[in-house]
Amino acid sequence: MSTPETDVGRIGEDPDAFETFYREHLDLVQRFVARRVTDPHLAADLTAEVFLAAIDAAASYRADRGTPAAWLTGVARNVVAAEFRRQKKDKDAVRRIAGRRLLDPDSLAAIESRIDSARESRRLYDALASLPRRDRALMELVAVDGLSVTEAAAVLGVKPGTARVRLHRSRARVQSHLTPLEVQP
C-alpha cells in the first residue's frame, strides 16, 4: 500500500509516468472493484473509470496527505459511489473508455475469478449497510479492503485517533460480521 516513489503529479501529462503508476496500482484497483460489484463487464468499466478519474485529479494529489495508493483508493471510492448513485437513478452511463469493450474471453474469466474470490468480502461489504455512511466508509477500507487504520484515516481525511474511535463503535454494531477479521493497528 505504499509506493512513495511514484510521481503522481505527472500521470496526467506523461504517458510513461502513467504507465508506471498503472502497473503499480492495477491490482489494487481491480481488487477494490471486485469487492463491490459482481458483473465482470461493469468491473472492467469501473477499472477504466478509476484510472481516468485519477488522471484528471492527478494535480490535486498531495504527498504529505498520504501515499499514492491511499489517494487512489479514495478516487476509486468516489467512482464506485458515483456508479451506485447512477444505478439508483437508472441512468445509462456515458463512459469515455468502455472497459468492457476491451475484454476477451481469457480476460473476462480472470475478472470473474477475481470477483468470485471476493465473495466473502462482498458479503461483509453488504453487511455494513446498517452503519452511518461515514462509519461505513471507514469499516469498508479496514475490514473489506484490508487497509490499516492509519491508511484508512488518510484516505478519508480524518485523524487516526478519530478513526480508531469510530471503528470501535462500528465493530460493536456489526460484531457478528467482524469477529473473524483482524483490524490492523
The distance of closest approach from Cβ of residue 179 to other proteins in the complex, given in angstroms and rounded to an integer, is 27
In three-state secondary structure terms, 46 is: helix
Task: Tell me how many residues contact other proteins (CB under 8 A).
Answer: 45
63 belongs to the binding site for other proteins (CB under 8 A): no
Site for other proteins in 99-138 (CB under 8 A): 99, 102-104, 106-108, 110-111, 132-134, 137
Q: Which stretch binds other proteins (CB under 8 A): 98-106, 122-130, 143-151, 169-177?
A: 98-106
Q: Which stretch binds other proteins (CB under 8 A): 89-97, 117-125, 138-146, 177-185?
A: 89-97
Considering only CA atoms, which of 5, 8, 56, 1 is closest in space to residue 29?
Answer: 1
Q: Which stretch binds other proteins (CB under 8 A): 71-79, 123-131, 138-146, 177-185?
A: 71-79
Torsion angle (degrees, nearest 10) of CA 19, 25, 31, 34: -40
Nearer to other proteins, 19 or 120 (CB): 19
- Expressed in angstroms, the distance from the first to the final Cα of the chain is 15
Site for other proteins in 25-54 (CB under 8 A): 26, 44, 47-48, 51-52
Q: Which stretch binds other proteins (CB under 8 A): 13-21, 116-124, 141-149, 177-185?
A: 13-21
Measured CA to CA, the distance from residue 53 to residue 50 in angstroms comes to 5
For 140-169, give one letter per residue: b (16+ CB within 10 A) or e.
bbbbbbbbbbebbbbbbebeeeebbebbee
The distance of closest approach from Cβ of residue 28 to other proteins in the complex, given in angstroms and rounded to an integer, is 13
H or E segment at 134? helix 133-139
Q: Say if residues 146 and 75 touch (Cβ distance below 8 Å).
A: no
At 109, list the grid cell: 474469466
Residues that bind other proteins (CB under 8 A): 11-15, 18-19, 22-23, 26, 44, 47-48, 51-52, 55-57, 59-60, 71, 74-75, 78, 82, 85, 89, 96-97, 99, 102-104, 106-108, 110-111, 132-134, 137, 156-158
